[in-house]
Amino acid sequence: MAIVLNTLLIIITALAIPGVINRTRAVLAGRQGMPFTQHLRNVNLLLRKSTVYSTTTTALFRIAPAIYLGAAIVAMLFIPVADLYPLISFEGDVICFAYTLALARIIIIFAAMDTGSSFEGMGAAREALYGALIEPALMIGFATLALFCGYTSFAEIFEHRQSFNLHLTIVMLLTAFLFLKITFVESGRVPVDDPRTHLELTMIHEVMCLDYCGIDMALIHIASWIKCACFSMIAANAIAATCCFNWWFATPLAILLTGLSVGIVESTQGRNKLVRNTTFIVTISALAALIFFIGYLLKLDINI
């Protein structure tokens, strides 16, 4: 029963975050904005539309959205919600989680290149570059969690509330901030990318999906929501473990943490110039290394 509840809560988180983002952006802009469930209505509309394929594409382009969504769903099944247990768990599953999402990125890159479009090729090149740059931050973040909890499985890292001291609480809060920053990059949000733009020369994730429509586009949207929910839940678990380690606290925290953060940033900032994105992402990796180093020193508990 706990496993089913865990999976349902992750799905609810994935569906709710885009609504919170849209509502936050509307409130800060002083307008009525779209309904909370507008993104669900849009996907429902896409699911009822047929697909159209270019004659230059191969079977790879057609199966890519299904693989993209499937990889995101498998990655989601590794993530616990606070004290609940995930469906899939084994020693070292943090590595499997990272490279399951890497599979999703690779397949959508190959699909973009399969179209033969120069615009989609540019987007694929940028996605590959940013994925390679953010990967060190992701792995160092997992290493920080493993350093303090002594496990390499999400279920064991977040199995129960730890007896944290002040040092460990500081590191966990910093790690939560790190995964929140990673969420911006992995979800293609401002300041790295802007899902609302329609200028091919500046798009990253959206430009790779220009040739998709109908149900294929719906699958890509759903997979993006799930990826965002996974990183949001990891950050929420890190915070919840320091104060109130219960699923009823971690779930709304994950929704509000990412929804409000992304909504505020998109309302107050513009997207970076493309030449600054690499610096921004490398800075996140540097931040991850700094957090790990601070955590290692605090772990030693050196008395002077």
pLDDT tens-digit profile, the chain (304 residues): 789 999 999 999 999 999 999 999 999 998 888 899 999 999 999 999 989 998 899 999 999 999 999 999 999 999 999 889 999 999 999 999 999 999 999 999 999 999 998 889 989 999 999 999 999 999 999 999 998 888 889 988 887 555 557 777 888 899 999 999 999 999 989 889 888 776 666 678 888 988 999 999 999 999 999 999 999 999 999 999 888 888 999 999 999 999 999 999 999 988 888 889 999 999 999 999 999 999 888 888 765 4
Kindly provide the b/e burial profile for residues 201-240, where b requires at least 16 CB atoms within 10 angstroms of the residue's own CB: ebbbbbbbbbbbebbbbbbbbbbbbbbbbbbbbbbbbbbb
Domain boundaries, the chain: 2-300
Cα 210 to chain center, whole Å?
Answer: 21
User: Residue 252: is it exposed, middle or buried by C-beta count within 10 angstroms (0-12/13-18/19+)?
Assistant: middle
Whole-angstrom Cα distance, residue 171 to residue 182? Answer: 16
How many CB atoms are located within 10 Å of the residue 81 CB? 28
Check if the beta carbon of residue 74 is closer than 8 Å to that of residue 100: yes
Q: How far apart are CA 76 and CA 6, in angstroms?
A: 10
**CB burial string 127-141: b at 16+ within 10 A, e below:** beebbebbbbbbebb
Cβ–Cβ < 8 Å for 129, 204: no
* pTM, two decimal places: 0.94
> H-type helices in the chain, by residue range?
2-29, 38-47, 59-76, 93-114, 118-149, 154-157, 166-186, 214-240, 247-268, 274-300
Separation CA 116–CA 206 (nearest Å): 16
Residue 304: predicted pLDDT: 47
The set of residues, in sequence order, having a beta carbon less than 8 Å from that of 48 and lying 6+ positions away, is: none
